[in-house]
């Protein structure tokens, strides 16, 4: 199979798998005081230091979680709850967040009567920073947290978060960035961003599923979601997954060490893929910013096709891709990301995401182009019946 769905999940890097197996052979709970426990704790703290070095964060600013979704929940709910008052109960996000953020915001509105605002985006997927600045200038004292993406998981557009952070800082509002698609693919320096919080996920960059982390600026009040043993400075109680933490960290280390060369390689493959798709299917339309996008993301609409039908035809031909976020796969509704960008429902339903990663080869791209013309022809024919 040609696997072109790395934005959903990516194979574990050999270095991360080796780190996982090595740590998993060790007996010990990192909260225990005996020798085995102390050795497990040492592995966790060494990983914390290494992860901080790779991402420009202090070790004390890193909270390990069980997934990117949990990290996003902890960031948005935790910051909101810690700062909420009768007068300050307003959560600000954007119209095209991943469901791990947007559903959290909607839950706060539905279950806790939080005020919420979704900032709009341009037709290329950039948030309307002027709209956000205006809102903060008018209502900044009511806002508990601003949450936005560093890079969009569907169309791949990379955000300029500088204006967001600057506008929020003037009003003392914390900013959280969902960087799950960015870490390991773009340069990330937490201290340099000025962000209050940043989230990442292991399986998006060659680490194991079930691992993630929240980077949160030191001394920032945050309310815990989980209560129990008081691990991770009482921010995230749970027995620490030593093997997962070691493997996550090794994946980040490897990805960041190879980032510049790998970004060049993937960008060249991505641009070739886009050009060849447009040559084979001239009506295909690229979604997202054509230049400021993730190195491995190619998101295209195929007029006259149902994306789901096209996906299954490609799958039968040995090419695996996606119609959008894997977290909403199987849901019969157009992408909220594309609708937020002003696309019609028909266009949104006709779109596919091809996402490349560390294991992608030229042969994978060639396999897609060999299968695509016939799949598009058959999908269009099916749509006419």
The Cα–Cα gap between 66 and 88 comes to 30
Report which secondary-structure segment, H or E, holds 174. Answer: none
Instruction: Tell me the β-bridge partners of 92.
Output: 117, 146
The Cα–Cα gap between 337 and 223 comes to 29
Distances (CA, A) of 260 to 196, 257, 265, 267, 295: 26, 8, 9, 11, 10
Q: DSSP H helical segments within 217-341, as ranges?
A: 242-257, 259-280, 307-316, 336-340
Among the listed residues 327, 329, 331, 382, the single catalytic one is 327
Q: For the CA atoms of the chain, what is the radius of gyration?
A: 21
Q: DSSP H helical segments within the chain, as ranges?
A: 14-24, 35-55, 68-83, 99-112, 129-139, 162-169, 190-193, 242-257, 259-280, 307-316, 336-340, 345-349, 362-384
* 186 burial level (CB within 10 Å; 0-12, 13-18, 19+): middle
Signed CA dihedral, 227, 232, 235, 240: sign only: negative
The whole-angstrom distance between residue 97's C-alpha and the CA centroid of its chain comes to: 9
Q: What beta strand segments (E) does 120-266 contain?
A: 143-149, 175-178, 197-201, 212-216
The Cα–Cα gap between 16 and 50 comes to 14
The Cα–Cα gap between 352 and 363 comes to 19
Active site residue 327: yes
Signed CA dihedral, 178, 148, 100, 238: sign only: positive
Signed CA dihedral, 319, 3, 293, 170: sign only: positive
Catalytic residues: 327
């Amino acid at each position: 199979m040609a696997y072109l769905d790395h934005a959903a999940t990516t194979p574990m890097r050999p270095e991360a798998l080796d780190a996982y197996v090595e740590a998993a052979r060790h007996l010990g709970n990192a909260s225990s005081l005996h020798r085995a426990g102390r050795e497990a704790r040492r592995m966790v703290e060494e990983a914390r230091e290494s992860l901080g070095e790779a991402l420009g964060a202090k070790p004390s600013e890193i909270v390990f979680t069980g997934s990117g979704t949990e990290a996003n929940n902890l960031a948005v709910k935790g910051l909101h709850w810690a700062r909420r008052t009768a007068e300050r109960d307003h959560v600000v996000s954007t119209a095209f967040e991943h469901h791990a953020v947007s559903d959290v915001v909607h839950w706060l509105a539905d279950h806790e009567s939080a005020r919420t605002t979704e900032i709009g985006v341009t037709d290329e997927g950039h948030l309307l920073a002027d709209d956000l600045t205006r809102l903060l200038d008018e209502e900044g004292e009511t806002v508990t947290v601003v949450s936005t993406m560093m890079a969009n998981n569907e169309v791949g557009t990379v955000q300029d978060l500088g204006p967001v952070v600057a506008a929020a800082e003037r009003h003392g509002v914390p900013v959280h960035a969902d960087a799950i698609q960015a870490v390991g693919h773009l340069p990330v320096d937490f201290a340099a961003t000025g962000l209050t919080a940043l989230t990442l996920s292991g399986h998006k960059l060659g680490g194991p599923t079930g691992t993630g982390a929240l980077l949160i600026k030191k001394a920032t009040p945050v309310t815990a979601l989980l209560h129990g043993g008081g691990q991770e400075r009482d921010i995230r109680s749970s027995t620490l997954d030593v093997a997962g933490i070691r493997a996550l960290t090794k994946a980040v280390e490897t990805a960041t060490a190879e980032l510049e060369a790998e970004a060049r390689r993937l960008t060249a493959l991505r641009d070739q893929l886009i050009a060849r798709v447009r040559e084979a299917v001239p009506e295909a339309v690229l979604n997202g910013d054509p230049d400021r996008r993730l190195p491995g993301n190619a998101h295209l609409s195929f007029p006259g096709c149902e994306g789901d039908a096209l996906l299954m035809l490609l799958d039968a031909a040995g090419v695996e891709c996606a119609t959008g976020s894997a977290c909403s796969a199987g849901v019969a509704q157009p992408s909220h990301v594309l609708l937020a960008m002003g696309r019609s429902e028909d266009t949104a339903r006709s779109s596919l995401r091809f996402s490349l990663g560390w294991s992608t080869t030229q042969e994978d791209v060639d396999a897609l182009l060999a299968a695509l013309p016939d799949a598009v022809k058959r999908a269009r024919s099916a749509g006419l019946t």
